[in-house]
Structure 1
């Protein structure tokens, strides 16, 4: 559906905080909600493009969805956007699927069963040194590592993809500024941890999902050795 919109064109507009949204976001959100909630009617639902229903807070299991993560890239004809679906149980992700349509890739993970891309098992980078490490994220969060010889990668518009690339060993470390949301992170979080990497705040705490306000503190994502070093540097 998303690729069809991308190829034939679509309407777009802005919503709160000058954030872009397109016809594709809305159409895919409706499709996913109908399909997924029909399969699991007892689950809660949280999506960037659906009005928040506080009843989700009383549900043990919740779908957390971003119909298009990286809408600016999608609207601008760039390839680095994704479709993100996570299932959260008791505040942490237990199943995840992240589609990268332009690259014909689907990342998937289940708690305790590892992470895959197109069915192939993936593992994160074992690099433990900042020097030479490939990093992505907000420039302000990369400056210290850049001074130590890290290689700064071009912007990856989809935050979920930024983290998934760490899970797949394509990126050694990624950062997220404050005010990221559950739908940006839930699926990628599980992919990262099932691939042997870590995604935490700078105090080492993991994100908790399905809270009344679904926003998050600044985050760092990396393989275990590099992750520890990045946390130590910023404490």
Structure 2
């Protein structure tokens, strides 16, 4: 099957799966679900686990030859090398979900040879479905979305110390965006033009980023490492020895260049 056709088929599959997982998660939303704390003081709820099980059962039944990368279940990256993987976060923004905030989403991507080739963010509490395919643009609920190319003041998200290191002319035209617990949704806000860019703290994971990365790329922006390179998914970080990413920037244009300078100074200075 040609790659473009395979990507379209995979997007249809992961969109259907994400919608189903979103319905499951929504049934627990603001219903006081049971919550446990994982290693590193990160919460997981019974909604995360139920949505993850649904996604894994549906997706690997449909594509048994694909690999599996998820926040909530053991993946097979090291044990079974594959070209294509599902990359899943059943609820990105679990803290927000538990607190009753509607800014959370189901994030599902397909990666091939380390890069996303289909991505969807399903945001049922906001009735939003955000999708992307390589070379086909990004959409929310069927309408094309794009990064912002104008507007003052513009909003930038991220740690205060990073924002304060931006050049003075940017700081004079900038306001700090409110904190968004869901990293995937925050990057989608850049893709949608709600905010101009966001810094990403070190230690994010593939499941936080893969779908949103493709969405932003198709909307006219980028997610880049401190040395200005696109991310490669499914591989160990040579510096940390695990699968976490270092500090990142999600933005576009001249702002991207200046944000990268800040991250590079922090990472390499």
* Range of TM-score over shorter length: over 0.9
* Number of the residue aligned with 1:206: 230
**Greater mean alpha carbon deviation, residues 83-92 or residues 53-62:** 53-62
Shift of 1:208: 0.7
Question: Are the aligned partners of 2:88 and 2:207 in contact in 1 as well (CA < 8 Å)?
Answer: yes
Shift of 1:144: 2.1
* Number of the residue aligned with 1:193: 217
Q: Residue 225 in 1 paired to residue 248 in 2?
A: no
Separation (CA, whole Å) in 2 of partners of 1:56 and 1:99: 30
Per the normalisation by structure 2, the TM-score is 0.82
Q: Residue 140 in 1 paired to residue 153 in 2?
A: no
Pair 209,161 (structure 1): closer, same or farther in 2 beyond 3 Å: same
Pair 122,84 (structure 1): closer, same or farther in 2 beyond 3 Å: same
Shift of 1:111: 0.9
What is the root-mean-square deviation of aligned Cα atoms in Å? 1.8
**Greater mean alpha carbon deviation, residues 185-194 or residues 143-152:** 143-152
Separation (CA, whole Å) in 2 of partners of 1:117 and 1:192: 12
Q: Which runs of 4+ in 1 moved over 6 A?
A: none
DSSP-derived class of the 2:139 partner: strand
**Greater mean alpha carbon deviation, residues 141-150 or residues 9-18:** 141-150
* Number of the residue aligned with 1:62: 85
Q: Quick one: which of 166, 182, 195 aligns to 2:190?
A: 166
| Gap regions ≥5 residues in structure 1 | none
Question: Are the aligned partners of 1:44 and 1:56 in contact in 2 as well (CA < 8 Å)?
Answer: no
Q: Residue 104 in 1 paired to residue 132 in 2?
A: no
Shift of 1:145: 3.4
CA deviation profile, 1:67-104 (whole Å, cap 9, x unmatched): 01111111111111111001110001110000122211
* Aligned residue pairs, count: 233
Separation (CA, whole Å) in 2 of partners of 1:16 and 1:233: 30
| Gap regions ≥5 residues in structure 2 | 1-23, 237-241, 265-269
* Number of the residue aligned with 2:244: 215
Q: Residue 30 in 1 paired to residue 59 in 2?
A: no
**Greater mean alpha carbon deviation, residues 218-227 or residues 100-109:** 218-227
Question: Are the aligned partners of 1:68 and 1:84 in contact in 2 as well (CA < 8 Å)?
Answer: yes
